[in-house]
Structure 1
Amino acid sequence: MRRPEPTQNERFFEPTEIIVSKTDTRGRITYANDVFCKVGLYSETELIGQPHSILRHPDMPRCVFHLLWQRIETGQEIFAYVKNLAKNGDFYWVFAHVTPSFDTQGGIDGYHSNRRVPERRAVETIAPIYAALLAEEARHADRKQGMQAGVALLQAELQRIGMEYDAFVFEIAGLA
């Protein structure tokens, strides 16, 4: 499936709605609820089997997804603000809660994500940080080095403000 050209149009969903998806361990979508389909403008058939990265907006720094995968692959949950890309190129912000799913032997057999409407002040706080991380990543010709530089910049910013990642995410959401 071809990635659409991003527009400047923002899509919204109701605070009472929750976007839900499940993936296998490689990040391929195995379940998408009706809210996910509605907001992203995809049919369930179009989403099932696709990599979840189909929604990745080019404004999202790779280092955020690196942090996400580091956490969930080790069995931990993570909360993150994510700017997603709809099928028509519009964007929408979510406050994502991603958790591993476990089989009966305790091994990870996939991932589950619930995404809610983020507080607007959180989006206004995180967007310029993501822009700085993205700019740092772009300064490096090697994608891996760029991602590592983004991670280092994020860690330096968190250290500067004296907060761990999770505390920061909840603080800007007004949940701390």
Structure 2
Amino acid sequence: MKPKITPIDHEVSLEDDEFIVSKTDTRGLITYVNRTFMRISGFSEPELLGIQHNIIRHPDMPRGAFKLLWDTLKEGDEFFAYVKNLCKDGSYYWVFANITPDYDSRGNLRGYYSVRRKPSREAVDTIIPVYEEMLRIEKNSTTKEAMTHSIAYLTEQVSHAGVTYQDWMLQLNSSEVER
């Protein structure tokens, strides 16, 4: 069961050379976390293993972003995103996430592998208003339409950049995107 955590306005940051690594099974249950993940999130290994990865989902993250993530992974493609995560104590941390399908030696999907690093401040400042608008759209839409409308807004923002979603994410991280 996901613990009830009350978010607080306190940001925790990764160091420039740190990486958060985790693995999940095909259902999103955590099968591996590195020490950096545990230190930043405040959760111990026993509190994380076998638990849904969304244990660290911050309420400021739009559901549409996660639908896009899962739709992309189900196609067998890797996914990049800026994600605001929740710590055990209610603090938060931003990451630039790369999630890839993890296959066994026979080519069967066995889960997902994620490496997260510190994002540029410019990228976070660019994505925050996009996520805020996605959340507003989700709140003002019916449950059935919320994620579709939210993703449509995100797609519109990406189209203004003239690139694919993945390329936009990568450009934001390198601060090459026009603002």
Structures share a fold, TM > 0.5?
yes
1:129 aligns with 2:127: no
Superposition TM-score, scaled by structure 1 size = 0.95
1:79 aligns with 2:75: no
Alignment-derived partner of residue 115 in structure 1: 116
1:162 aligns with 2:154: no
The within-5 A match list for 1:2-81 is 2-81=3-82
Alignment-derived partner of residue 106 in structure 1: 107
Paired with 2:157 and 2:121, the residues of 1 have a C-alpha distance of: 21
Q: Is the 8 A contact 2:29 2:49 kept in 1?
A: yes
1:4-39 superposed Cα distances (whole Å, 9 cap, x missing partner):
000010011211111000000000000011000000
Paired with 1:116 and 1:149, the residues of 2 have a C-alpha distance of: 29
Q: Is the 8 A contact 2:122 2:175 kept in 1?
A: no
Q: Is the 8 A contact 1:3 1:54 kept in 2?
A: no
Give 3-state SS (helix, strand or coil) of 2:50's partner: coil
Paired with 1:3 and 1:151, the residues of 2 have a C-alpha distance of: 27
1:40-99 superposed Cα distances (whole Å, 9 cap, x missing partner):
000001000110001100000111111111111221111110000000110000000100
Give 3-state SS (helix, strand or coil) of 2:27's partner: coil
Superposition TM-score, scaled by structure 2 size = 0.94
Q: CA deviation at 1:104?
A: 2.3
Give % identity: 44
Q: In structure 2, what residue type is equivalent to 1:79?
A: F
Q: In structure 2, what residue type is equivalent to 1:28?
A: L
1:102-152 superposed Cα distances (whole Å, 9 cap, x missing partner):
02221211000000000111000111111011111111131x310111011
Paired with 1:109 and 1:42, the residues of 2 have a C-alpha distance of: 24
Unaligned runs of at least 5 residues, structure 2: none
Give 3-state SS (helix, strand or coil) of 1:148's partner: helix
1:148-173 superposed Cα distances (whole Å, 9 cap, x missing partner):
11011111222233221012111111
Paired with 1:64 and 1:153, the residues of 2 have a C-alpha distance of: 11
Alignment-derived partner of residue 171 in structure 1: 171
Q: In structure 2, what residue type is equivalent to 1:12?
A: S
Unaligned runs of at least 5 residues, structure 1: none
Q: CA deviation at 1:175?
A: 6.5
Q: What is the root-mean-square deviation in Å for CA atoms of aligned residues?
A: 1.2
Q: In structure 1, what residue type is equivalent to 2:153?
A: L
Q: In structure 2, what residue type is equivalent to 1:83?
A: K
The within-5 A match list for 1:90-105 is 90-105=91-106
